[in-house]
Structure 1
Amino acid sequence: MAAGYDTTTLLGVKRIQPRFTPLFVQMFFPTVATFASEEVAFDKIKKGIRLAPFVAPMVSGRARRERGGTLTTFKPAYLKPTDVVRPNRLLKRLPGEALNGELSPAERHDAVIADILLDHENEIVAREEWMAVQAVVTGKVVVEGEDYETQEVDYGRSAANQIALAGAAKWDAVDADTYDPTDDIEDWAANANGSTGVLLMDKKAWRLFSRFKAVRDKLETRRGSTSQLELGPQLERDVMRKGYFGEYEILVYTGKYEDAAGAKLNYMPDHTLIIAPARADNVMAYGGIQDAKANADGIVETTRYPSNWFTDNPSVEWLQTQSAPVPALFDADEFVVVTVD
């Protein structure tokens, strides 16, 4: 394939790949909105495993605000995971291939392309999940990278909805036999805009919560789920449904990502409790693709743009996937976030 793959072929490969669907994106940002412009217009939306590094497509990102301080548009950072399709790799057997090499070099080349595209997809989805977690947990997303000027998208969470327990109020300091968190949770939930139905915790918050005798006495484990979450094979490993505490379904999230240094980190900060709606209508938005070839082919408004090309001396093939995502959290006060220790 000296001329390279066309975009339709590469997109076709991506469509048949299994996709990891992370918790926060699936639960709280279930809808996609694409833009033909570099900038995402939040007001128009409202009306209508390794993290991929943030980079700027041509210039640094910028946030623009209208009079009064309301963020209306944001130019997302650009994601461009890129790999070399090495010729010597194409001559090796792939995992699962017979010893005598049942695939032709061309077939193995296609399989390597598919494998790299899947890696790109996983990196981009991991970054989308990271941004979604930041938006929900902190009420803002700080976008920074080696090739990108640091920018912040502040969704305007009220201080009353961002709580950190201190001193004797911390969950590890209260008496596990006598403390009942029911009243506190009801008081915190009263700060949320709209109805709430989920208590989402990291593993350490759950350990503290579940040690309370009142929780063990009230926890109901037989009721069916009422959230919009559907657990696929990957989420079954990363999400534990613990039952109901009153009207709240309890979910424990243990999802991890790998940073640039190779360290595995939790998406959710330690000792975090999120009082969340059972259903949310926020959006994962995408700025337009800033690529001359893509634009010449009429491709601007899309969530992904995969492409490949060749260079000489040394002769190598390159494979890249471009995307410009940013979460659109319409009301940060739908959530109440509590650091319990």
Structure 2
Amino acid sequence: MSVFDRYELAQYIEEQAQVPTFYLNRFASAIVESEDEEVLVEMKFAGKEVAPLVMPMEQGQVIYERQTSSKKLTPAYTKMKDIITPKHAMKRRVGEKVRDKVTPLQRLNAATVDQFVTHDQRLTRLLEYMCSRAFTDGKITLTYKDDRQALVDFGRDASLTVVLDDSAGNEFWSNENTKIVDQIDTHMKRMSDAKGGVAATDMVMPLDVWQHFKNNAQVKDTLNTDLAGQTGALERGVTMPDGIELKGTLGNNLRVWVDTRTVSIKGVQTALQQAKKVTFLSDAVEATQYFGAILDVEAMLAMRMYSKHWNENSPSVRVAESQSAPLVAPGNPNATSSMTVLA
């Protein structure tokens, strides 16, 4: 297969393998592909320093380098393999018309591409899962097939991972009289005060938190537009399962989302938004999808995903395999935070 064919195949797969995403589309749309096993991640901590004073004949002071730091991180690695048998070539495909006169070989090739499309969709789900963990926890735990684990820590300020303990000012959100809006105010200030920190533009919560949040007395008071100066609106009706919904805004511009999506990890249904936790993040997070080197002698290219196939004999089957070395990293980890709000 020529280099042109590889890129043509990769482009076709990406066009066909559309998976609806939230974090990737809104906060991590940038893509960096590398030919190295490690990827260079640049963290930006734009501070709030005033311009430095110097004497007229002195040199200027370096500002940018003090506000950025670079890390070399090792991405995860995934291989997806599926078997296509001759039976796939014997039956008409969905939507195939009799008059089209599709040959068995054409059906076999189409079935092969279908597997590659499925691989790309699985990769996209993995990236979205990485986003959810990176933004909520400030780190990602990579768990491999043999249960070996590797921790990728992005160095988020420890104060931005908050666990309520039901003490004064830190009451659980299950109490309808908890001052949730006051807690959010305090947390937003905590985010803003962190190195390079900014106030959140979005908050994402699971269904168990939303059911308490929407019925909280202070939240409902905040939404009471009969009171002067009150702004914001929330849709408090039924939340449809397996999706992410914008419920409205709290205050002037804090968007409130409810995420009920799940993915399957080793056959276990896993929520993208962890129970009891609220994720806060800003548009300034500037996350990036990184893809490291594909460790395959036939690849030798910087690619999001490398797909290939080969035929085997006795039994006669075709093997479709895709490989990728993915990692999602926030450009500004302190533009994310989380609160565990239920016991």
**Fold-level match, TM-score > 0.5?**
yes
Structure 2 CA distance for partners of 1:307 and 1:46, relative to 1, 3 Å: farther
Counting only pairs closer than 5 Å after superposition, residues 176-325 of structure 1 correspond to structure 2 as 176=176, 178-192=177-191, 193-219=197-223, 220-221=232-233, 238-247=243-252, 248-261=254-267, 263-295=268-300, 300-325=301-326
Instruction: Give the C-alpha shift of residue 12 in structure 1.
Output: 4.1
Instruction: Give the C-alpha shift of residue 144 in structure 1.
Output: 2.0
Cα distance in 2 for partners of 1:149, 1:109 equals: 37
Instruction: Give the C-alpha shift of residue 75 in structure 1.
Output: 2.2
Higher gyration radius (CA): 2
Instruction: Give the C-alpha shift of residue 116 in structure 1.
Output: 0.9
8 A Cα contact 1:257 1:267, kept in partner: yes
Q: Give 1:52's aligned residue.
A: none
Deviation per CA, 1:180-235: give whole Å up to 9, x if none.
32211010111111132112111111111101133234343389xxxxxxxxxxx9
For 2:260, the aligned partner's letter is: T
List gaps (5 residues or longer) in structure 2. Answer: 46-68, 192-196, 224-231
8 A Cα contact 2:285 2:330, kept in partner: no
8 A Cα contact 1:201 1:273, kept in partner: yes
What is the TM-score when the length of structure 2 is the normalising length? 0.78
Which SS does the other structure have where 2:314 is aligned? coil
Which SS does the other structure have where 2:150 is aligned? strand
Instruction: Give the C-alpha shift of residue 148 in structure 1.
Output: 7.7
Q: Give 1:160's aligned residue.
A: 159
Q: Give 1:111's aligned residue.
A: 110
Structure 2 CA distance for partners of 1:131 and 1:102, relative to 1, 3 Å: same
Instruction: Give the C-alpha shift of residue 23 in structure 1.
Output: 1.6
Cα distance in 2 for partners of 1:293, 1:309 equals: 12
For 2:335, the aligned partner's letter is: E
Q: How many residues align?
A: 297
Deviation per CA, 1:84-112: give whole Å up to 9, x if none.
11111221232334589964323322331
Q: Give 1:75's aligned residue.
A: 74
Extract structure 1 runs of 4+ deviating beyond 6 A.
Answer: none
What is the TM-score when the length of structure 1 is the normalising length? 0.78
List gaps (5 residues or longer) in structure 1. Answer: 48-69, 224-234
Q: Give 1:53's aligned residue.
A: none
Instruction: Give the C-alpha shift of residue 292 in structure 1.
Output: 0.6
